[in-house]
A and B are shown apart, each in its own frame.
Chain A
Amino acid sequence: MHKSYGKLQVLRDVNVEFGTGKVVSIIGPNGAGKTTMSKCILGMVLPDSGDIQLNGESVLKKYAYRSQIGYMPQIGKYPVNMKIRQVIEMIRDIRKKEKNVDEELIGLYALEEIYDKRMGALSGGTKQKVSAALAFLFDPPILILDEPTAGLDPIAAEILKAKILKEKKRGKLILITSHIMSEIEEVADEVLCLVDGSIKFYESIVELKAHTQEDRLSRAVAKIMNEGYHP
Chain B
Amino acid sequence: MNKIIKYVLLDIVKSRIIIAYTVFLLLLSIGLFNLGGSPDKGILSLLNLVLLTVPLISIVFATTHFYNSYEFIELLVAQPINRTKIFMSEYLGVAFSLSAAFIVGVGIPVIIFSPGLTGLYLVLTGVFITFIFVAMAFLASVITRDKAKGIGIALLLWFYFALIYDGIVLFILYAFGDYPLEYATLAMTALNPIDLGRIIVLLNLDVSALMGYTGALYKSIFGSVWGIATAFGLLMLWALIPVLSSRRIFSKRDL
Chain A residues within CB distance 8 Å of chain B: 5, 39, 42-46, 63-67, 71, 73, 77-82, 87, 90-91, 93-95
Contacts and interface: CB of A to CB of B under 8 A. Distances in A.
5 contacts: A44-B77, A45-B254, A67-B80, A77-B70, A94-B81
Nearest to B4: A94
B79 A94 contact: yes
Contact of A46 (B71, B76, B80, B254): B254
A63 B82 contact: yes
Given A44-B255, A63-B82, A94-B4, A79 B77 contact: no
Contacts of A5: 254
The residue among B3, B4, B79 with the most chain A CB atoms within 10 A of its own CB is: B79
Contact size class for B? 20 to 34
B200 to A, nearest CB: 39
Nearest to A90: B7
Contact of A95 (B15, B72, B80): B80
Contact of A93 (B3, B77, B252, B255): B3
B147 interface: no
B69 interface: yes
Given A42-B78, A45-B255, A79 B83 contact: no
The residue among B4, B71, B252 with the most chain A CB atoms within 10 A of its own CB is: B71
B11 A79 contact: yes
B14 A81 contact: yes
Contacts of B82: 63
Contacts of A79: 11, 69, 71-72, 75
B70 to A, nearest CB: 7
Given A79-B11, A94-B79, 6 more contacts: A45-B255, A46-B254, A66-B80, A77-B74, A79-B72, A80-B71
A43 B77 contact: yes
A84 to B, nearest CB: 13
Given A45-B255, A94-B4, A65 B80 contact: yes
A94 B77 contact: no
B77 A91 contact: no
Contact of A81 (B3, B11, B77, B80): B11
Contact of A66 (B72, B78, B252): B78
Nearest to B85: A63
A63 B69 contact: no
